[in-house]
Amino acid sequence: MKNINPVDTNSWKSLKEHFYKIKDLHMKDLFFQDKDRFHKFSINFNNQILVDFSKNRITSDTILKLLMLAKEVDLSGAIHSMFNGEKINRTENRAVLHVALRNLSNTSITYDNKNVMIDVNNMLEKMKLFSKLIINGTWKGYTGKSITDIVNIGIGGSDLGPSMIVQALDAYRNHLKMHFVSNMDGSHISNVLKKINPETTLFLVVSKTFTTEETLINANTAKIWMNEYFHTNDFLDNHFIAISMNVKNVIDFGIKLDNIFTFWDWVGGRYSLWSSVGFSIVLSIGFSNFLLLLHGAHAMDQHYLNTDFSKNIPVLLALIGIWYNNFFLSETEAILPYDQNMRRFPAFLQQTNMESNGKNVDRNGCFVRWQTGPIIWGESGTNGQHAFYQLLHQGTKLVPCDFIASVCPNNHVLVNHHVQLLSHFFSQTQALAFGQFEINTENKCNNISSPTKDSLYAFPYKAFEGNKPSNSIFLYQINPYNLGALIALYEHKVFTQGVIFNIFSFDQWGVELGKKLAKTISCSLINKSQEIQYDSSTNGLINFYKSFS
Ligand code: F6P
C-alpha cells in the first residue's frame, strides 16, 4: 500500500478548482438539465440493491475527478494488498482478512505461508455442529434441560455487529431468546439476569483479547450468579462458551477447550461478526441463514474487487463522501434506515467508521493536514423525522444522508404501514434535494388563490432551499443475503476512504489511554485513604464521590 498524501495529488488540486466552480449549483437545475441523471448516477447490485446517488451535488466531471484521485493514490493496489493478505495493518503488523471469513468460493488465501481457508472452514464446521445441537435441544444444561436463552457478553466489535444483525433479522429468528450484555453498568446485566433461568441459559463470552474489562466483569458476575444457583462451578461446561483468540485466559476463567471458538489476529474486532464472534447470529437465525449473510458479503467483496471504479458502489459512495467531507467540509454523515429493526445500524456503523478512520496521523507518521473520517450518527425513519430532520432541512449545517429502505417489508401482516413508510422514504430525499420556494404551494392545496399577508410573513420560515445531498440505498428486502452485502458495502467504503486519507484504518490506539487511566483511578477509588494527586478537576470530581462513599 502506498503512502500518498491526497492533498499533494494533481486530482486534489483539480477537485478544489472544480469545487469553487460548482459549489453553488442547485440539484433542481442539474436534474432539469439532464433527464437521464438517475440512470447515470445509480447502480443496481444483482437486482437486490438499488443505489441511487443522483441526489448529490455532483456532475459527471466531479465523478471523473474523484476517480482520478482514487487512481493517483493507487486504491486498486491497496484493495489487492488487503485481499492478498499483506500486512496492511502496519502499526500492529497484521493482515486484514475479514474477506476470507466470507470467501465462500473457497479460493486459497495465503497468510504466513498457510492457506487461511483451512482454519476458516474448520471454524464454520464447528459453528454448524454446535448450533445444531443447541437449536434442536440436544445440548443440555447442567440439570438436563434444553437451552432457551442465549446471553452474549461482549462489547464493541464483540457486540455491535451481532446484536445489530440479530435485531435486523428478527423475522428469521427461531425459538431461542437472545440477550446482549455489553455495558459495565451493572444495570445492563442485572436487567438480563432478571429475565432468564440459570438451568436453560447459555452464556457466550465474546472477547478477542479476553482482557476487556467490561466483558470480564460481566462474565464474572454471570458466573457468580450461576454458582449461587447451582452451589458449584460444575455447570460451566454446559452453560459457558467462549469466543476468543486468548485461549489461556479463557481456560483460566474456567471454560474448557472444547467450548472455545478461536479466531485469528487478522480479524479486526469491528470486522469480526463474520467469524465465530457471530455465533449468536448463527444461534438466532440458523447456520444456513448465516451462510446467506456470508454469501451476500462475498458477492459485495467480488463486486468491490472486480468492478471498474466508475461502477463500483463502495468506491463511488466513498468518493462522494470525500467530496462532502473534504471539499464542502461537512463534518457528519447521517445514516437513516427506514426499518425499525435496523435501528442499531447507525450505532454499528459508528464503530466501523469512526474507530477505523478517526485518525490524525498519516501513513508516513505525520499529522494530517486534511479532514479524515466523518462523525457518523443516525436513527430509524420515521422516528428521526420528528426529532432532528428540521435541522437537516432548514439548519445551517450540511449533512449528507444515507437513506436505507426495502421494497418488501419483513412484517407481512401490517403491509399498509410499509406503503406509508416508503412514501416518507421517497419524499424526504425529494424534499431535501429540491426544497420548496413556491409561495402558493400550500395555498393551492387549500384552494386559496392569492397569498395573504400572513402567508407572506411566514414565507421565509416556510421556504426550503433544498440542495441537501443524499444517497438512497433501496434493498429488495432486509434478508440475510442483502444485509451481508450492505454491511460489506460500508466496510469497503470505510477502507476506500482510509486509503485516500492515507491513514491506517485497522488499528484503534485512540481507545487505549482512557482504559489505562481508568485502571489507575480505579485504585484511587478502592483505596479510600490514598491521597489523590491528579489535576484539580479530576481531584474535585473524585473527592465529591468519596465524600458520599
Ligand atoms: O474499543 C476498543 C476495542 O478494542 C474494539 O476495537 C473491540 O471491538 C472492543 O474493544 C472489544 O475488544 P475485545 O473483543 O478484545 O473484548
**Domain ranges within the chain, ordered by starting residue:** 6-72+307-426+469-507, 107-288, 510-548
Class of domain 6-72+307-426+469-507 as given by CATH = alpha beta
| Alpha helix positions (H), 362-414 | 389-394
- Measured from the Cβ of residue 520, the count of other Cβ atoms closer than 10 Å reads 9
- Range of lowest pLDDT (25-39, 262-276, 449-463, 487-501): 449-463
pLDDT on residue 438: 61
| Atom 8, ligand 1: residue with shortest CA distance | 157
The residue nearest atom 13 of ligand 1, judged by CA position, is 207
Note the pLDDT of residue 449. Answer: 59
pLDDT surpasses 80 at 481: yes
386 is catalytic: yes
Answer yes or no: 444 catalytic.
no
pLDDT, average across residues 319-337: 98
Does the domain spanning 107-288 belong to CATH 3.40.50.10490?
yes
Atom 3 of ligand 1, residue of closest alpha carbon = 156
Instruction: Report CA(361)–ligand 1 centroid distance (Å).
Output: 21
Q: Is the CB of 275 within 6 Å of ligand 1?
A: no
Domain 6-72+307-426+469-507 and domain 107-288, same fold? Reply is yes
pLDDT of the residue at 452: 80
pLDDT at 433 over 60: yes
Residue 446: what pLDDT? 54
pLDDT at 3 over 80: yes
Ligand 1 in reach of 350 Cβ (< 6 A): no
* DSSP per position, 400-427: -EEEEEEEE-S-SS-HHHHHHHHHHHHH
Range name among 429-438, 461-470, 505-514, 527-536 with the lowest pLDDT average: 527-536
CA angle 388, 19, 394 (to 5 degrees): 20
- pLDDT band of residue 448 (cuts 50, 70, 90) is low
> What number is the average pLDDT over the span 458-463?
88
Q: Is the pLDDT of residue 445 over 70?
A: no
Q: How do residues 262-309 score in pLDDT, each as one tens digit?
A: 999 999 999 999 999 999 999 999 999 999 999 999 999 999 999 999
Query: What separation in Å is there between the alpha carbon of 212 and the centre of ligand 1?
Result: 7
| Range scoring the smallest mean pLDDT among 193-197, 321-325, 328-332, 462-466 | 462-466
Q: What integer pLDDT is reported at residue 43 of this predicted model? A: 98
| 479 CB within 6 A, ligand 1 | no
Instruction: Determine if ligand 1 sits within 6 Å of the CB of residue 153.
Output: no
Average pLDDT, stretch 31-46?
A: 97
Output the nine-digit C-alpha cell for 160: 455491535
The alpha carbon of 325 and the centre of ligand 1 are apart by a number of angstroms equal to 27
- pLDDT score of 489: 98
What is the band of 442 on the pLDDT scale with cuts at 50, 70, 90? low
pTM: 0.96
**% of the chain at pLDDT higher than 90:** 90
Confidence of residue 440 (pLDDT cuts 50, 70, 90): low
Instruction: For 343-395, write each residue's pLDDT tens digit.
Output: 999 999 999 999 999 999 999 999 999 999 999 999 999 999 999 999 999 99
250 in contact with ligand 1, CB cutoff 6 A: no
Mean per-residue pLDDT over the chain, rounded: 95
Question: According to the model, what pLDDT value does residue 439 have?
Answer: 55
Contact indicator for 373, 356 with CB cutoff of 8 Å: yes
487 within ligand 1 shell (Cβ under 6 A): no
Residue 419's contacts (CB-CB under 8 Å, 6 or more residues apart) are none
Tens of pLDDT, residue by residue over 59-109, are 999 999 999 999 999 999 999 999 999 999 999 999 999 999 999 999 999
Sequential DSSP letters for 463-520: -B-----EEEEEEEE--HHHHHHHHHHHHHHHHHHHHHHTS-SS--GGGHHHHHHHHH
Gap from CA of 253 to ligand 1 centroid (Å) = 18
Using DSSP's 3-state secondary structure scheme, residue 165 falls into helix
The mean per-residue pLDDT over the stretch 248-266 comes to: 97
Q: Is the CB of 207 under 6 A from ligand 1?
A: yes
Select from 153, 160, 209 the residue to mutate for testing ligand 1; criterion: most ligand atoms less than 8 Å from CB.
Answer: 209
User: What is residue 478's predicted lDDT score, i.e. its pLDDT?
Assistant: 98
Contact between 259 and 241 under an 8 Å Cβ cutoff? The reply is yes
Contact 160 CB / ligand 1 (< 6 Å): no
Q: Read off the amino acid at residue 523.
A: C
pLDDT in tens, 512-543: 899 889 888 998 888 877 778 899 999 999 99
Burial (0-12, 13-18, 19+ Cβ within 10 Å), 151:
buried
Q: Which atom of ligand 1 is nearest to the CA of 157?
A: 8
pLDDT at position 454 over 90: no
Q: Is 219 helix (H, G, I), strand (E, B) or coil?
A: helix
Q: Is the beta carbon of 330 within 6 A of some atom in ligand 1?
A: no
- Over range 234-259, report the average pLDDT: 98
If you measure from the C-alpha of residue 336 to the centroid of ligand 1, how many angstroms do you get, rounded to a whole number? 25
Q: What is the pLDDT of residues 405-418, one digit of tens each?
A: 999 999 888 989 99
Output the CA 220–ligand 1 centroid distance in Å.
Answer: 18
